[in-house]
Amino acid sequence: MAEVTRCRNAETGHEAELPTDVLGAYVRLGWEAISESRSSDAAEQERIDRDNEAAARLQTVVAELSADKPPTIAEILDTVGDDPEAARAALDIEQGTDSPRTTLVARLTQIIDTAGDAGNHQED
């Protein structure tokens, strides 16, 4: 029996069980998983349950590691470089934290503003 995942279409709200092996295609079409994968075959279901448990443990570890040691300002700025889009994305993430780092926010804002100023001069 094929592995399926309960999904919901974000736009219509319609729910359906979709084949897990092609779930990526459905996600691009606006579907989102709302429950873990399931199978009617007992052995297959046991494997799926083990995989889901392992994935949940991994997510917990990653969240704990991320909470304990967020990337440094230097690491973020090295990743962003002079790319204003990357700076906007990093700024959104940083401002979504409990205590945004003012130095990082100022530097990311400067990268975004500098790119905007450069674009304005090119039009002249």
Predicted local distance difference test score (pLDDT) of residue 113: 94
Domain boundaries of the chain, sorted by first residue: 4-68, 73-118
Which pLDDT value is given to residue 108?
A: 93
Q: Quick check: 119 pLDDT over 70?
A: no
How high is the pLDDT of residue 107?
Answer: 96
Q: Which residues of 49-84 are buried (b: 16+ CB within 10 A; e: fewer)?
A: eeeeeeeeeeeeeeeeeeeeeeeeeeebbeebeeeb
Per the CB < 8 A criterion, the answer to whether 7 and 18 are in contact is: yes
Distance of alpha carbon 51 from alpha carbon 57, whole angstroms: 10
- Per residue in 52-76, pLDDT (tens digit) is 776 666 566 556 555 566 778 888 8
Residue 78: per-residue pLDDT = 85
